[in-house]
Amino acid sequence: MSEPLQDLQDLAGRHIVLGLTGGIACYKAAELTRLLTKAGATVQVVMTEGAQAFITPVTMQALSNRPVYTSTWDAREGNNMAHINLSREADAIVVAPASADFIARLVAGVTDDLLSLLCLARPRDTVPLLLAPAMNREMWSHPATQRNMAQVQADGAHVLAPASGAQACGEVGEGRMQEPEELLQGLVAFFQPKVLAGRRVLITAGPTYEAIDPVRGITNLSSGKMGFALARAAAEAGARVTLVAGPVHLETPQGVTRLNVKSAQQMLDAVLPLAAAHDVFIATAAVADWRPAQLAEHKIKKDGSGQVPQIAMSENPDILATVAALPQPPLCVGFAAESQDVAHHARQKLQRKKVALVVGNIGPATFGQDNNALLLVDAQGDQPLPADGSRAPKLALARALVADIARRLPKA
């Protein structure tokens, strides 16, 4: 997984207590600390005795630039109450890795080390506890562990669920701690306002590919980045998100259900049965307007005559207009990727397709880029995003657009 963009400083001003318990996944905590600090957070590391068998406090101190705490009786605290002071200073306590033993002791309220003690002593209404379990697949699936996971969540902890994959013991299965980049995304998402909690959002993203013959086709330069950023932002905002993606090479955002398609017709076939069950439909995909009327059975070859083959074209279905015309449509948001006169063309699209909002942008200036400038066009007028007309990271724009869409929804 590539490193996530850090220029948003998503955790600026946040103070994170990062707890490490005994497990080989401690090596990932070093990278997690680096990513947290790059995202703007300050990180205070607390380690159990077991954790110190896998990674040293020296390493964690160097990465966090703060002294590491390992003992309940640490005399550096003036009142000798590290468990009180550390928990009161935190915006969140993150335990990564959280071993089966540590989770069991949290459930039982056993506090025989500093980390479990400060978790118990934290102000539960203001200092959230996030757990990233890490253990062998048999340990994870054991009924005792599953009972403990249910109880610790009932007690108020938030679980960053483990992934399935190769484990240090040589086995393969669930229980592997999430990668540092995934944990960072999970923590960032935790802090985002849940303006779409309980809502269902359907998004299309990327280009479509319209085949001419078995080896050639018609497509465009859309990278899908804006649509994927919107999927991530909507999921961060608490929505259940379904992403219908054209042919792109992007990782699926956390918590998002992804359906892969190629052509415009395939995209419509995926979207139409789902649309009515969603609260919002965001048509970010750059759908080809036309397709070859017939698919050649074999590759079309040059014959040396210099004659260009004539390819008859058919108009593709209009996915956004089709959804907007449903008897009970979701709130429909369209995108207009233009090369000129963005406001004019976006308003025409708004009126022609009878949707609530069209988001305009200059396609050639944004395809494949990590930043963009948008123009929000609705019945009331035009609004640039950002407000000063400058460019901004697509994820920042996506979060602002999600907040705007949430304000347009009727109260649940």
> Tokens representing 410?
């009727």
The answer to whether 299 is annotated as binding is yes
Residue 239: partners with Cβ closer than 8 Å, 6 or more residues away: 196, 197, 199, 200, 201, 280
Query: Partners of 16 in the beta sheet?
Result: 43, 92
Q: Is 320 annotated as a binding residue?
A: yes
> What gap in Å lies between CA 195 and CA 256, rounded to an integer?
17
Q: Is 404 annotated as a binding residue?
A: no
- Strand (E) or helix (H) holding 405: helix 394-408
Tokens at residue 110, please? 């056993």
Task: Establish whether 162 is an annotated binding residue.
Answer: no
H/E run at residue 191: helix 180-191
H or E element at residue 344: helix 342-353
Told to judge if 119 belongs to the known catalytic residues of this protein, a careful annotator would answer no
335 annotated among ligand-binding-site residues: yes
How far apart (Å, rounded) are the C-alpha atoms in residues 15 and 284? 36
- Distance CA(46)–CA(48), nearest Å, equals 7
Contacts of 352 (CB under 8 A, 6+ apart): 321
Q: How far apart are CA 304 and CA 306, in angstroms?
A: 6
Where does residue 370 rank: exposed (0-12), middle (13-18), buried (19+ CB within 10 A)?
middle
Residue among 26, 119, 169, 332 flagged as catalytic: 169
Q: What are phi and psi of 100, to 5 degrees?
A: -60, -40
- CA-based max dimension of the chain: 91
| Pairwise CA distance, residues 282 & 111, whole Å | 48
406 Cβ partners below 8 Å, 6+ apart?
195, 196, 199, 237
CB contact at 8 A, 260 and 206: no
Binding site residues for CTP, as ranges? 289, 299, 317-320, 335, 349, 353
Binding site residues, as ranges? 289, 299, 317-320, 335, 349, 353
Catalytic residues: 169
